[in-house]
Amino acid sequence: MRSKREEAFRYTFGRPLPAFFKITKIDDDLVTTAEGNAEIIDISPSGLKIHSQLTIPDTDQKTIEISIRFTLNDEELNYHGIIVWKDRLNHYGIDLLTDEEEQQNLIEQLKIYSKNELKKGKVDKSM
């Protein structure tokens, strides 16, 4: 199991963020699957950790590329990535295939999300 926990910026959601994914490529073969439900546990500009009730087999023996979409701050984001690890609880580590512009946009969206969550926390404490 490979991890990039040494990254400088990784945001962990207090409550996992709903997402949808589909497999788009297995090794060099393009495929089309139905969307499956997932939850994003944490995210960085270059990767994310998801959980799904669905089991994706052979993640160690094959290169599996996915498309993942989710909404953050009322903006729908869609990324492609490669599954790099899986654990027995159906958590998956995804390396995102993002360019610099996409990474900067994701960082900005996460900063806005984080500030909004802090504000919600302050409002909840005063109620």
- Using the structure block, give the residue that is written with the tokens 């409002």: 123
Per-residue pLDDT of 46-88, as tens digits, reads 999 999 999 988 888 899 999 999 999 999 999 999 999 999 9
Domains and CATH numbers, the chain: 11-126 (2.40.10.220)
* 9-25: burial string, b at 16+ Cβ within 10 Å, e else: ebbebeeebebbbebbb
- Which has the closest alpha carbon to 85: 75, 74, 96, 94? 94
Q: Do 110 and 96 form a contact (C-beta atoms < 8 A)?
A: no
Distance CA 54, CA 71 (A): 20
Structure tokens at 31: 């495929």
Per-residue pLDDT of 22-44, as tens digits, reads 999 999 999 989 999 999 999 99
For 78, the enclosing helix (H) or strand (E) is strand 75-86
Q: Give residue 85's pLDDT.
A: 96
Distance CA 76, CA 89 (A): 27
